[in-house]
Amino acid sequence: MQSKLYECLKCRNSSLSLIRIVNSEVEIDQFIGGTRGTDYIYVYDRGFFINVKYLNGCRVVAREEWGRKRYKETYRISRDTLEGKLLLHISYSNKGYVLPRVCIIENNVVKCCDCPPLKRDDEFIMQIASSFKHLGKEVEPLKLYLDLVPKLSREILDTVERSGARGISFAGKAERFKETMYSPGLSLFTIMSLITERGRVKSLLVKISHIAELAIIARIVKAMDGVSLTDNWWIEFVWNKPLTIVKSKITGKEYTIFYQPSIFPPIIRMIEPSAPAHMIPDVVVFEGRFENIEPGRLHKLLESGNRPLLAVEVKTGLKFVKWEQSDYIINQVKTYRELLNPKNFVLVSLRGIDPLLKVYLKSLEIAVFENITNENVQKEFENYVLKAITVTS
């Protein structure tokens, strides 16, 4: 891994204004605040990439606000601490594109070079991302990401291809999801470049959740033996454009699959406090073809007598965030039951779930499939979907 990075340092001298030699010290600027318009500096030390602010002997000498939700920090550290060590400059454009460079300080000179493998070789990028020093609670979701995301993303793309679609189109806020689907190594690199435990945990869980949700849709299409009637699978959160419309070779019928649709407009409660909540179910499947449903207008389908054939809520089973807690899940599924009234309702979890929660969900006639990555559980889920489409045929 190190040898590839050192190879990148063979470019002609190219300095970086964020890193400056000041007598016996090095002064470094970081622009902190997510992955848009920010810059981070990492040091390779004892087998790990460590953010400069966490190095022993590093001190903050200045801090100032730098635009919305960003700030600039300036550090000073002994030059001897950094002399000859690999540095990573991870820069993000205002649109969120990552621009990594490799740097080194030698003989009072800061040299930085572009590194093509950090842009093109996703397996190598995954290696680098796995070498960032852990900050704490991100360890468990990181392991889940490494175990599942590369594997599931390949399975999803394989299902898309076998269904006859050309690929997946991403729009709006879903564009960052494209990175996870097609370049899971780069996506993890982006996550691990964040310098807070909270930021890493939240980002890992969001990426894992999206991949798991799409993997469930792939399982649904597989169970239907579905042929895509759309050129591409379309992902644009809450926009209510169908992910795809498929025709089942088993029933001969068409099914419209919505991914994270909006049932009611988000603004409705600002106008009328007693109005239904703005809720976004993970997967909703209707029998028949439905297109051009406006954002926040999925309820119009229900009001015209089109009851969903299937609704699926997907969980990771990692209880770091409120939407994985039992009380939240109970409130969520009860609301979906009231608003959607699906003929078949399922909760799927990557991990095991609380036994009491499982009993309660079954009392609501919600089917539960935990440890969904197990092949036997996947077959049970596919059989459930198959029964759902054939019973109504």
pLDDT tens-digit readout, 203-261: 999 999 999 999 999 999 999 999 999 999 999 988 899 999 999 999 999 999 999 99
pTM (2 d.p.): 0.91
* 76 and 32 within one domain: yes
* 163 and 106 within one domain: no
* 43 and 191 within one domain: no
pLDDT tens, residue by residue, 18-40: 999 999 999 999 999 988 899 99
* 62 and 138 within one domain: no
* 63 and 196 within one domain: no
* 291 and 170 within one domain: yes
Please tell me the total count of domains within the chain. Answer: 2
* 113 and 174 within one domain: no
Residue at a domain's end among 100, 120, 140? 120
Band of the pLDDT at 268, cuts 50, 70, 90?
Answer: very low
Residue with tokens 């990439």, as numbered in its chain: 49
* 188 and 103 within one domain: no
* 105 and 27 within one domain: yes
Indicate if the pLDDT at residue 291 is higher than 50. Answer: yes
Residue at a domain's end among 70, 97, 120? 120
* 104 and 17 within one domain: yes
* 150 and 28 within one domain: no
Q: Between the CA of residue 185 and those of 64, 117, 145, 146, what are the distances in Å? A: 32, 12, 10, 9
* 137 and 103 within one domain: no
Can you give the pLDDT at residue 269? 45
Domain housing 262 = 128-391
